[in-house]
Amino acid sequence: MSSARDEILQRIRTAHTAAGAPEPIRRSAPATERDRAEVLDVFVRMTEDYRAVVERCTQEELPGHIARTVETAKAARIGIPPDLDERWTAEIAGTVVVDDGLSTAELDTIDAVVTGATVGIADTGTIVLDHSGNQGRRALSLVPDMHVCVVLESQVVADVPTAVRGLRPSVDAHRALTWISGPSATSDIELSRVEGVHGPRTLHVILVAGA
């Protein structure tokens, strides 16, 4: 008796296989390079459109912005990945908890988490984390109710295909990706949009200039 694997592959070959090698799909490249300032504006507008809070600041202002953001949200325990730049959290008044392998129950006691990002997508207002370095493992930015995500202006690209191509090295390194477009939401009841189901109910994006 043949294995399920062999049998399914044999069924496919019986059913249909085109002759020759696959031709690469031809995709039209974007016609013109878009203006950087405009791309950043679109990123801010689209991210806000999906009810995330977006702020812009300089590198010098960043620690103050992060501290004020978590303070305004009355977050007492702030989770961070082990590799986060320590200057970013220097001005936080609350307790900073480094994720050195916290249990799920411990993560559940954290009020807000501060991470970096890998790429921002302007057209859709999306942030992608590959969970390396200053982004921490996936559970860290998932269980706490508030996610403060720092995106550098240099990380923002115009459109989805550019972002996908740029993420290839992370995928080749077997890293998991999380694409985030606004806070968690549902439209399952009468298609009325409700923010905040299981993921963080507040997404706060800080876009840092000159970096």
Partner 1 sequence: MKVAPQDLHQNDLPLAATSSTFIGMPKFPTMARAGLDNTVQRRNLQHATHTIRAKRAAVVHEVSDWEALRLDGAATKDQALDHLADYLVQLEDNLTAAGATVHWARNADEACRIAVDLVQATGASEVVKVKSMATQEIELNEALEAAGVSAWETDLAELIVQLGHDRPSHILVPAIHRNRSEVREIFLDEMSRVGRAAPEGLTDEPADLAEAARAHLREKFLRAKVAISGTNFAIADTGTLVVLESEGNGRMCLTLPETLISVVGIEKVLPTWDDLGTFMQLLPRSSTGERMNPYTSTWTGVTPGDGPQDVHVILLDNGRTHVLADDLGRQALRCIRCSACLNVCPVYERAGGHAYGSVYPGPIGAVLTPQLRGTSTPIDKSLPFASSLCGACFEVCPVRIDIPKLLVALRTQVVDEKRGGLPTGEAAAMKAASWVFGDHKRLVAAQQGVTASARLLKGRPTIGRLPWPASAWSDARDSPAPPRETFRQWWSRTHIDDSGASSAEGSPS
> Looking at beta carbons only, is 53 or 178 nearer to partner 1?
178
> Looking at beta carbons only, is 68 or 175 nearer to partner 1?
175
Residues between 110 and 139 with contacts to partner 1, criterion CB under 8 A: 121, 123-126, 131, 137-139
Residues between 41 and 70 with contacts to partner 1, criterion CB under 8 A: 46, 50
Three-state DSSP class for residue 172: helix
Cβ partners under 8 Å of residue 42, min gap 6: 122, 123, 158
Examine residue 15 and tell whether it contacts partner 1 (CB under 8 A): yes
Examine residue 1 and tell whether it contacts partner 1 (CB under 8 A): no
Rounded to whole angstroms, the Cα distance separating 127 from 150 reads 10
Among 28, 29, 32, 33, binds partner 1 (CB under 8 A): 28
Residues 48, 203 contacting (CB under 8 angstroms): no
Cβ partners under 8 Å of residue 129, min gap 6: 115, 117, 118, 135, 141, 149, 177, 178, 180
Among 41, 95, 188, 211, binds partner 1 (CB under 8 A): 188
Q: Could you tell me the smallest distance in angstroms from the CB atom of residue 67 to partner 1?
A: 26
The number of CA neighbours under 13 Å toward the Cβ of 3 is: 3
Examine residue 164 and tell whether it contacts partner 1 (CB under 8 A): yes
> Looking at beta carbons only, is 47 or 62 nearer to partner 1?
47
